[in-house]
Amino acid sequence: MIDYKLLEALATVIECGGFERAGLALGLSQSAISQRIRTLEIRLGQPVLVRSPALKATPAGQRLLNHVQQVQLLERDLTKSIPALSEPTARLRIALNADSLATWWAAAVGNFCAEETLLLDLVVEDQDIGLRRMREGDVAACLCSSPQPVAGARCVPIGTMTYMPLATPDYVRRYFGKGLSETSLKNAPAIVFGPNDQLQHRFLAQCGYHGTFPHHLCPSSEGFVKLALAGMGYGMIPEMQARPEISAERLVSIAPEQTLEVQLYWHFWRHGGGVMDRLTNALRSAATLNSNV
């Protein structure tokens, strides 16, 4: 059996960002926290923490943290039937795409987290690779574009995000004055979120273009829009995020009749307890209230 005092020490060190702060949080000395971590590593036969250049969990340590999260969620369910138990504050590590975080996510989970006293540890990943984090045991839940569930997890559809290929009117006149063509798509600078972002490639494939293209890399949803507004390129931007800019005609589509629809799926471990089920219902309810998610 796992000694949960050792796991508690590991989780607190990561949450507090250091051994001394973890000791203060748990009412223990720094040396006592260090001893618990060493004991855990000896029992596992491998390290659970990388101490430099920055303190973080090893892959084994992250799997243990994921396990701790699930146990905390199950313990919270016990308080519903055994009120004498003190309700723990749970921390849930979730992977999600930056566009959801920049648009609808906060409104969907804000009240829920406050009512449930739930703390979130959000990991921002492209929607195509967030599920990898879950397979590796790095996160307890994931919002991504893959419908293929991980073994031991559930997968439910949340909604669809509509993306549009947007740029400034001046940019469109400069590069697409004669419409979309193989030459224009080959030469027009694009804006791509990161090396794993495939939205641009999907759009170009819809246009029948499969070649290379110049592009900026911008791993920020807000910065992405600002680069487009600065005339630096065109990019696939969520329609709901760009509505003010579209209404003011500061951004226009380079292909008015084309959009890219991305279905989002919510993945979570089956043993997450009632709080995970309630979070899932909150997300699905928010999606039904918003026609774009």
Residue 240 within any structural domain of the chain: yes
Residue 26 within any structural domain of the chain: no
Q: What is the pLDDT of residue 239?
A: 95
Residue 285 within any structural domain of the chain: no
* pLDDT above 70: percentage of residues in the chain: 91
Least confident segment among 5-9, 35-39, 129-133: 129-133
* 229 vs 150, higher pLDDT: 229
> Span 178-198, mean pLDDT?
93
Structural domain count, the chain: 1
Residue 32 within any structural domain of the chain: no
* pLDDT grade for 293, boundaries at 50, 70 and 90: low
Q: What is the pLDDT of residues 191-202, one digit of tens each?
A: 999 888 889 999
Q: What is the pLDDT of residue 63?
A: 84
DSSP 210: -
**CATH number, residue 218:** 3.40.190.10
Mean pLDDT (the chain) is 87
The token duo for 198 is: 């495939």
> Span 102-123, mean pLDDT?
90
The token duo for 106 is: 């906060």
The token duo for 270 is: 């089956």
- Plot region of 273 (φ>0 → left; ψ -120 to 50 → alpha; else → beta): left
* pLDDT grade for 267, boundaries at 50, 70 and 90: very high
Cβ-based neighbours of 254, under 8 Å, separated by 6 or more: 165, 166, 167, 172, 175, 176, 180, 188, 234
Question: Which amino acid appears at position 3 of this protein?
Answer: D
Residue 274 within any structural domain of the chain: no
In the predicted structure, residue 73 carries a pLDDT above the cut 80 = no
- DSSP 3-state of 264: strand
Domain enclosing residue 187, as ranges: 161-262
Residue 209 within any structural domain of the chain: yes
Q: What is the pLDDT of residue 195?
A: 85
| Interhelix angle 30-44/4-16, nearest 10 degrees | 120
